[in-house]
Copies of this chain bind each other. A is one copy, B any other.
Amino acid sequence: MAVTMNDVARAAGVSLKTVSNVINNYEFIRPATKQRVLEAIDELGYETNLTARSLRSGKTSMLGLVLADLSIPYYAELASDIMKAAWARGYRVLVEQSGNEPEHEKAALQGQFRSLTDGLLFIPLALDAEQIISAAGKKPLVLLGEFVQDPRLDMVLIQNQEAAAAVTTHLLAGGRRRIAVLGAHDGDETGSNGLRLRGYRAALAAAGVEYDPALVVPCDWRRDAGADATARLLDSGVEFDAVFGLNDVLALGALHELLVRGRKVPEEIAVAGFDDIDESRFASPSLTTVAPGRTEIAERAVELLIQRIESKDAALTVQQPKAAFEMRVRQSAP
A95 within 8 A of B: yes
A51/B278 in contact, CB under 8 A: no
B71/A83 in contact, CB under 8 A: no
Write the residues of chain A forming the contact surface with B, with a CB cutoff of 8 angstroms: 1, 47-52, 54-55, 58, 60, 62, 69-71, 73, 76-77, 79-81, 83-84, 87, 92-97, 112-116, 223-224, 227, 252-253, 255-256, 259-260, 278-279, 281-286
Contacts of A113 in B (CB 8 A): 50, 92
Q: How many copies does the complex hold?
A: 2
When C-beta atoms are compared, the residue in chain B nearest to A61 turns out to be B116
Q: CA separation between A223 and B279, bound complex, in Å?
A: 8
A34 to chain B, nearest CB (A): 20
Contacts of A115 in B (CB 8 A): 47-51
Which listed residue (B47, B71, B278) contacts A112, Cβ 8 A?
B47
A258 to chain B, nearest CB (A): 8
A95/B95 in contact, CB under 8 A: yes
A106 to chain B, nearest CB (A): 14
Contacts of A84 in B (CB 8 A): 97
Q: CA separation between A1 and B260, bound complex, in Å?
A: 61
Which listed residue (B79, B114, B224, B282) contacts A224, Cβ 8 A?
B282
When C-beta atoms are compared, the residue in chain B nearest to A95 turns out to be B95
- Contact flag A70-B60 (CB < 8 Å), given A51-B115, A95-B95: no
Which listed residue (B52, B62, B80, B256) contacts A71, Cβ 8 A?
B80
Contacts of A116 in B (CB 8 A): 50-51, 92
B259/A282 in contact, CB under 8 A: no
Q: CA separation between A256 and B286, bound complex, in Å?
A: 8
- Contact flag A223-B112 (CB < 8 Å), given A71-B76, A83-B95, A94-B92: no
A77/B71 in contact, CB under 8 A: yes
A76/B70 in contact, CB under 8 A: yes
5 of the cross-chain contacts (CB-CB < 8 Å) are A47-B114, A55-B55, A70-B79, A73-B73, A256-B283
- Contact flag A278-B97 (CB < 8 Å), given A48-B115, A83-B70: no
When C-beta atoms are compared, the residue in chain B nearest to A48 turns out to be B112
B278/A223 in contact, CB under 8 A: yes
A259/B284 in contact, CB under 8 A: yes
Contacts of A81 in B (CB 8 A): 71
Q: CA separation between A278 and B249, bound complex, in Å?
A: 11
Which interface residue of A47, A71, A227 has the most chain B CB atoms within 10 A?
A: A71
A310 to chain B, nearest CB (A): 17
Can you list the 7 inter-chain pairs with the closest CB atoms, starting with the nearest? A76-B76, A70-B80, A259-B284, A71-B80, A51-B54, A71-B77, A223-B282
When C-beta atoms are compared, the residue in chain B nearest to A83 turns out to be B97
When C-beta atoms are compared, the residue in chain B nearest to A73 turns out to be B73
A256/B282 in contact, CB under 8 A: yes
Q: CA separation between A278 and B225, bound complex, in Å?
A: 13
A19 to chain B, nearest CB (A): 16
Contacts of A286 in B (CB 8 A): 256
Q: CA separation between A254 and B3, bound complex, in Å?
A: 52
